[in-house]
Structure 1
Amino acid sequence: MTTVARSPNMTVHEARQRLGHERSSRLTQLRAIEDGAAVADKELMTAQTAAIRRVLTEIGAAEDRVADGSYGTCLDCDGRIPVERLEILPYVRYCVSCQQRAT
């Protein structure tokens, strides 16, 4: 069983499954927004679509980190991102401390 770099409680397979589920959920949301485009507020639809596309980009970047072995490592402090955080946001780039400093 191969574990994700610096995240000993999550396997590469589990990380890929979580990312795949996130991607599927976001694509479903995107389709729902686009299907309702005729009746929706265009400004709201544009904002929602942009937000979903940003998350899809983050998911792609997380998949790249899984492939190169850096998944689960904070891109700022190089520390381990807790598995619990990755379970909630599998595409997250930063630990909580670094994320809070950035915002």
Structure 2
Amino acid sequence: MSLDLPRTEPRSLNPAADEVRQRLEHARTTRLAQLKALDDTGQNPGDHLMSNQKDAIKRVLTEIDEAFARVEDGTYGTCLGCSKSVPPERLEILPHTRYCVACQSRAA
């Protein structure tokens, strides 16, 4: 899937899922804009900081795409570590997160 194309999923009859998709799409659009801005700076091939930033943004874009898949299969909002619900406040801040705070801390 091309990173510069917006996701165009059919909208469901579930308003909560639609809201999640909107948050994920916003996060995705923001990261794509960051990536484009980094590309537009004319990066020096030896600039490791810039390269690391781009790699981190690409990882988040992958996590966002995986979150879209979890919305579709009904597992969005369930921690992949402990299978408990991820608090809604955490999902608002990091809509693409896969883990609750406790499991994320253990993974880090």
- TM-score norm. by structure 2 comes to 0.83
Q: Are 2:49 and 1:44 equivalent residues in the alignment?
A: yes
Cα distance in 2 between the residues matched to 1:102 and 1:13: 29
Q: Which runs of 5+ in 1 are unaligned?
A: 4-10
Q: 2:63 aligns with which of 58, 63, 69?
A: 58
Q: Are 2:40 and 1:28 equivalent residues in the alignment?
A: no
CA pair 32-76 structure 1, distance change in 2 beyond 3 A: same
Cα distance in 1 between the residues matched to 2:47 and 2:105: 32
CA pair 18-31 structure 1, distance change in 2 beyond 3 A: same
| Alignment correspondent of 1:100 | 105
Cα distance in 1 between the residues matched to 2:98 and 2:61: 13
Q: Deviations over 1:42-85 (max 9, x none)?
A: 21110110000000000000000000000000001100001100
- TM-score norm. by structure 1 comes to 0.87
1:2 Cα deviation from its structure 2 partner:
2.5
Cα distance in 2 between the residues matched to 1:58 and 1:38: 25
What is the percentage of aligned positions where both structures have the same residue?
Answer: 53
CA-based RMSD of the aligned residues comes to 1.7
